[in-house]
Amino acid sequence: MRQSVSPFSLPARRAALLAIAAVFGLVSAAVPASTPLEPAQQIGAANIEARDIRVGRAADGRYLLAWSGEDSIFFQRHAANGQPLGAVTVIGPAEVGTAFPRIQLDSNAAGDFVLRWESIDGLRIRSYAANGSLRAAFLHSDDPAGLQTYDVAIDDGGNLLVATRVVRGVRVPLIGYSDIRFAQTTVSAQRYTASGTPVGLATRIFTSLTDPGLQYRGLSTAPPAAVFTPGGAALVVWETEDGIGPRGVFGRRLTANGRVDGLAFRVDGREAAGANRPSVETDAAGNVLIAWTQPHPQGSNSFSGEDVFVRRYDTAGRSGPIVEINGDLATSPDIDLAVNRAGDAVLIWPSTPSAFCCQPAQLTAQRLDRSGQPAGASILVAGNFVDEPQVDIADDGSFVAVWSQGLFSSERVFARRYSAP
């Protein structure tokens, strides 16, 4: 894999949290609960390590679970009532091409889905019809000199959009002075047909040179997020410095023919924020909801916690207010957002109800109404030391949450279904 791993990567943070919690005997407090359809279900073999579980849900409630093992990827389709549809499909080591692949999944209303993961030779993409049959398998590759992160979106016709964020160091020589090293961030998007054929050339969405004093943050490897909007248009969001203000979340629209549509715009709207890890989804009308985290005001280190925010944009591109969602602190910036065709949404994040830096992480979900406001109490999905959650929602408002739990060889993956409100 070509991404660097920082000392504050998710596994490192999780190990630190576990060690400190063991010393102090911490126990997480309860979050207002909601009745799920069933207890949390462990996915995959009980005695085999599994990671990176992902979920994609069709409008009628059918859903797909995908997860990774040591050198393989697995997925299984399910009916809306949770019953498996057929056997588990295995993508073997020869096709995966890396150890413990970090997978991502996107699906459309019909249940078609796309899996992607990074290997040493680029981004591997496999696109499937709703019945599990393979449509396309291909390799997407960008600038090998930079740190690359990706997102892949699928539209209702099965067409794909690959959003790429590349961050690399740039030396600028100055006569009579030492070279100044900048961090250059480039965001681009490439369309593919449902059969995996490229459509034109990649579209350059954003390029910036970050102030040298902000270089460490500029080298963040946070991935972009992409979503198709009605009619084949798209929106890509990402985190970066813009060379003027602090790190924030930015977005830019693309037309149906792949051209940029207007200027890049700042989503978080904060002058001193540090917003990061955006997630974006849209309803059938084209209203867009964007979620992100930013450091809690109590501190700026990696254990100070993150506050979770959302902002809605209507079909004309008009922005609504920034809404703070959580009263708890997110223990990592890995949040996920799901929106159904009517505009009902669910947001999920690892959290702690205490400002103390190292309380064990539990998994919290929050329903949002069609204006992007919290709807009802937050939901405790899972207990301590959870990470890497994802959620998807059906048209009736029922949703499936997935997450990983445990450390190293003891890591396992889980899923839990929730009924419509």
Per-residue confidence (pLDDT) for residue 383, from 0 to 100: 80
CA 145, chain centre distance (Å): 24
What gap in Å lies between CA 401 and CA 399, rounded to an integer?
Answer: 7
Over the stretch 328-357, which tens digit does the pLDDT of each residue have? 565 666 899 999 999 999 999 887 765 555
CA 287, chain centre distance (Å): 19
Enter the tokens of residue 402.
């997935």
| Domain ranges within the chain, ordered by starting residue | 10-52+147-418
- Whether residue 330 contacts residue 355, with contact meaning beta carbons closer than 8 Å, is answered with no
Beta carbons within 8 Å of 407's beta carbon, 6+ residues apart: 11, 14, 15, 18, 385
CA separation, residue 22 to residues 28, 91, 351, 385, 387 (Å): 12, 37, 18, 12, 18
At 222, is the pLDDT very low, low, confident or very high (cuts 50, 70, 90)? confident
| pLDDT (mean) for 109-132 | 95
Query: Is 419 a residue whose pLDDT tops 80?
Result: yes
At 16, is the pLDDT very low, low, confident or very high (cuts 50, 70, 90)? very low
Beta carbons within 8 Å of 350's beta carbon, 6+ residues apart: 330, 331, 332, 334, 361, 362, 363, 364, 386, 387, 389
Which SS3 state, helix, strand or coil, does residue 20 take? helix
Which SS3 state, helix, strand or coil, does residue 64 take? strand
Per the model's pLDDT, the better-predicted residue between 185 and 284 turns out to be 284
Could you tell me which CATH class the domain 10-52+147-418 is placed in?
Answer: mainly beta
Per-residue confidence (pLDDT) for residue 272, from 0 to 100: 52
| pLDDT (mean) for 34-42 | 83
Enter the tokens of residue 383.
């207990």
Cα end-to-end distance, the chain, whole Å = 41
CA separation, residue 338 to residues 201, 240, 366 (Å): 30, 23, 11
- Whether residue 280 contacts residue 288, with contact meaning beta carbons closer than 8 Å, is answered with yes
